[in-house]
Amino acid sequence: MHTQRRNLSALSPRAGLSALAVTGLLATAACGTESGDGGAKDPGAASVGTRQATGLTGKQWNVDSVTADGKTQDAPAGAHVEFGKDGKVGGNYGCNHFGVTAEIEGDTITIGDDTVKTEMACTADGAMSFESKLGEAISDSTIKAEVNDDKLTLTTEDGYTVKLTAEKQADLYGTKWNVTGTVKVDDKGDAAGGSAVALASEAEGKVHLTFDEKGTVRGELGCNKVTAKATVGDGTITLGAPGTTRKMCSDSLMDTERSLLKLFGGTVKYQLKGGKLTLTSENGAGLEAVAAK
């Protein structure tokens, strides 16, 4: 089965690749999703899986760690896998989104060698190394799945062990949403046809938003603090004009800030799935964020 494993660590130097290159969407695994007109979904690919292990499908599994050759590497924030009820498999390696065909029979998952993924080059410590390990484990693999309540263990024939925990649905309100990247949407306002770009290394861990039930959003955009009105509707959030502090920072931080400020002063679509929040606007701006742990 592993006569020709792909080198998933060989990434394009480009910051992002159009999500159109990652064919299909993992829509069937959107258990516990709040959405405005479909929003941005993780890429996946069709398959012919039939019977699934009890509790495996229809939820987001956050990756805790990958063990290979006796060495365990903890996962970066945002790494997750979803097994669709029709056999689709997709998720995020901790940097890049991916999708792949699979057949699921009982507790055995046979994953194809046709993985497609975005091509962001992330700079967070260990992100690309972890991506390589997780990619090797769940590409062109035969995997045994063991579900124990909210825990999942994947064991491959090659000796990889992946530990995962089921994502609990985060609340939009009161959650600190750590922004992990910007999303440039297509001309229809759909992030699935656009591209995802990781934050500049200088901005990582510095960008976050928190919504409250009083109709306000507060946070930091990498350099300056921001406050605005936020009226939540059915799959949409109307963001008022932003009030910000007036610090000047490095060019990379100011570029990130300017991109995010485009979301304000209008109505954005939002999708809330597990611990992931996506905002997209018709003017081409968007962001991806994960719930702080």
Q: How big is the chain, counted in residues?
A: 293
- Confidence at 30, pLDDT banded by 50, 70, 90: very low
28 has pLDDT over 70: no
pLDDT at 33 over 50: no
| pLDDT tens for each residue of 51-98 | 445 688 878 899 999 999 999 999 998 899 999 877 789 999 988 889
Q: 184 — phi, psi (to 5°)?
A: -95, 115
- Share of residues in the chain with pLDDT > 70 (%): 78
> Residue 51: what pLDDT?
44
- What are residue 281's DSSP bridge partners? 268
Average pLDDT of the segment spanning 135-155 = 93
Residue 5: band (very low, low, confident or very high) from pLDDT cuts 50, 70, 90: very low
Q: What is the pTM of this model?
A: 0.58
- Of the listed ranges 13-27, 148-162, 180-194, the least confidently predicted one is 13-27
Q: Cα separation of 237 and 151, whole Å?
A: 33
- Tell me the HSE value of 28 on the side-chain side, using a 13 A CA sphere: 16
Average pLDDT score over residue span 199-204: 88
Provide the pLDDT for residue 12.
34
Q: What is the pLDDT of residue 280?
A: 94
Is the per-residue pLDDT at 146 higher than 60?
A: yes
Least confident of 18-22, 49-53, 146-150, 169-173: 18-22
Residue 258 is predicted with a pLDDT of: 94
Q: Which of 283, 257, 90, 65 is nearest to 185 (CA)?
A: 283
CB 99 within 8 A of CB 89: yes
Residue (of 12, 35, 59) closest to 195 by Cα position? 12
Per-residue three-class SS string for the chain = CCCCCCCCCCCCCCCCCEHHHCCCECHHHCCCEEECCCCCCCECCCCCCCCECCCCCCCEEEEEEEEECCEEEECCCCCEEEECCCCCEEEECCCCEEEECEEEEECEEEECCCCEECCCCCCCCCHHHHHHHHHHHCCCEEEEEEEECCEEEEEECCCCEEEEEECCCCCCECCCEEEEEEEECCCCCCHHHCEEEECCHHHCCCEEEEEECCCEEEEEECCCEEEEEEEECCCEEEECCCEECCCCCCHHHHHHHHHHHCCCCEEEEEEEECCEEEEEECCCCEEEEEECC
Q: What is the pLDDT of residue 53?
A: 57
Q: Locate tokens 């009105």: which residue?
A: 229
Q: Is the pLDDT at 8 greater than 90, yes or no?
A: no
Backbone angles phi, psi at 147, to 5 degrees: -100, 125
Estimate to the nearest angstrom the gap between the alpha carbon of 171 and the chain centroid.
Answer: 17
pLDDT at 198 over 90: no
Summarised one tens digit per residue, pLDDT across range 155-192 is 999 999 999 999 888 999 999 999 999 987 655 545 44
